């Protein structure tokens, strides 16, 4: 390689253009550096503004839309108390106890109670009560009525005194004209131990009121009410034997009442 062809680095830097070129490079470098710094500052400001906006929106939370005030609504009463009330009512029954007891009236008893419980709740039986006519083991239901009858005191009616008459006393009736003992009929239902009242003085069980039946010997208020209720339910009573079906009467009591009643 010749001397002229060799590249000398010093010759390049010794050129007269080297100094102005360096000045231009330095100026361009400063210009770009300023632009980059400005862009970086603007980005930082934008990031800070965005961060502040997001933080402020998060701190305040979403605002609820305003709606007009609505009137308060009272919920209708529920029926939750009805089963409770029904259950409370199922825990007791109410029965009526009347007649020959110490404290007649309504008695509240437990379900499955018997007549004995109702009588005990009414204070017990009176001394004149007919205990034999009661079924103390009978179970009661709500709305039942226990009627306790009183013992009937047998009263033999006194026949009216015969009126004085000037007519001669008739003699004995011939045996041929008498009716056989087996064919005689005690229509009034009286016993052989005493004379029965006349039919006009007997009480008609089909037309008598409860008050009229009450004054009949051996009847009383409870039996009089039972006869009126039976008559209203079954219609006209055809014969006195039908009274044995009336509550509290029975066959034994009916025999004592026959002299005073008629149909």
Q: Which of 111, 112, 105 is nearest to 146 (CA)?
A: 105
Predicted confidence at residue 141, as pLDDT, reads 92
Domain endpoint, select from 148, 168, 193: 148
Which tens digit of pLDDT belongs to each residue from 87-128?
Answer: 555 689 999 999 889 999 999 999 999 999 999 999 999 988
Q: What total of structural domains would you count in the chain?
A: 2
Domain endpoint, select from 117, 148, 179: 148
- Gap between the Cα atoms of 74 and 70, Å rounded: 12
CB atoms within 10 A of CB 152: 18
Tally of helices (H runs) and strands (E runs) in the chain: 7, 5
On whether residue 172 sits in a domain, the answer given is no
On whether residue 24 sits in a domain, the answer given is no
* Backbone angle region of 129, left / alpha / beta, with phi > 0 → left and psi within -120 to 50 → alpha: beta
Q: Residue 56 to residues 45, 62, 176, 217, 229: CA-CA distances in angstroms? A: 16, 11, 138, 106, 91
- Gap between the Cα atoms of 98 and 182, Å rounded: 43
Q: Which of 179, 178, 198, 180 is nearest to 188 (CA)?
A: 198
Predicted confidence at residue 180, as pLDDT, reads 41
Counting Cα atoms < 13 Å in the Cβ hemisphere of 228 gives 15
- Gap between the Cα atoms of 18 and 13, Å rounded: 6
Domain endpoint, select from 133, 148, 163: 148
Predicted confidence at residue 248, as pLDDT, reads 79
On whether residue 171 sits in a domain, the answer given is no
On whether residue 66 sits in a domain, the answer given is no
* pLDDT tens digits in sequence order for the chain, 263 residues long: 455 555 555 554 455 555 566 666 666 677 677 777 888 888 888 888 888 787 776 665 555 555 556 566 555 665 555 555 555 556 899 999 998 899 999 999 999 999 999 999 999 999 888 888 889 999 999 999 999 888 765 555 556 665 555 545 555 544 444 444 333 334 334 443 445 556 667 888 888 898 888 888 888 888 889 888 888 888 888 888 888 888 878 888 888 888 988 88
Predicted confidence at residue 194, as pLDDT, reads 46
On whether residue 53 sits in a domain, the answer given is no
Q: Mind giving me the DSSP string for 29-85?
A: HHHHHHHHHHHHHHHHHHHHHHHHHHHHHHHH-PPPPP-PPPPP-PPPPPSTHHHHH
CB atoms within 10 A of CB 74: 6
- Gap between the Cα atoms of 259 and 247, Å rounded: 20
On whether residue 139 sits in a domain, the answer given is yes
* Domain interval for residue 241: 210-258
On whether residue 241 sits in a domain, the answer given is yes
3 state DSSP class of 259: helix
On whether residue 19 sits in a domain, the answer given is no
For β-strands 105-109 and 93-99, DSSP reports them as antiparallel
Predicted confidence at residue 108, as pLDDT, reads 94
> 86-92: which pairs have CB atoms within 8 A and are 24 or more residues apart?
none
**Cβ–Cβ < 8 Å for 205, 262:** yes
Residue 94: DSSP 8-state: E
């Amino acid at each position: 390689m010749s001397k002229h062809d060799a590249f000398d680095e010093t010759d390049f830097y010794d050129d007269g253009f080297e100094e102005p070129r360096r000045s231009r490079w330095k100026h361009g470098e400063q210009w770009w550096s300023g632009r980059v710094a400005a862009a970086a500052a603007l980005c930082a400001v934008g990031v800070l503004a965005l961060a502040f906006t997001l933080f402020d929106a998060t701190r305040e939370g979403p605002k609820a839309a305003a709606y007009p005030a609505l009137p308060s609504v009272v919920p209708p009463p529920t029926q939750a108390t009805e089963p409770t009330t029904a259950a409370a009512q199922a825990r007791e029954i109410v029965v009526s106890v009347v007649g020959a007891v110490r404290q007649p009236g309504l008695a509240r008893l437990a379900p499955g109670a018997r007549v004995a419980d109702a009588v005990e709740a009414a204070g017990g039986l009176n001394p004149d009560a007919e205990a034999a006519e009661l079924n103390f083991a009978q179970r009661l239901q709500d709305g039942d009525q226990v009627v306790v009858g009183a013992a009937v005191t047998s009263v033999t009616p006194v026949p009216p005194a015969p009126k004085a008459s000037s007519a001669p006393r008739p003699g004995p009736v011939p045996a041929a004209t008498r009716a056989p003992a087996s064919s005689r009929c005690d229509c009034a239902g009286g016993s052989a131990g005493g004379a029965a009242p006349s039919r006009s003085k007997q009480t008609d069980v089909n037309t008598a009121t409860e008050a009229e039946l009450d004054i009949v010997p051996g009847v009383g208020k409870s039996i009089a009410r039972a006869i009126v209720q039976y008559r209203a339910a079954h219609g006209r009573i055809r014969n006195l034997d039908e009274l044995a079906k009336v509550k509290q009467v029975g066959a034994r009591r009916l025999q004592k009442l026959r002299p005073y009643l008629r149909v």
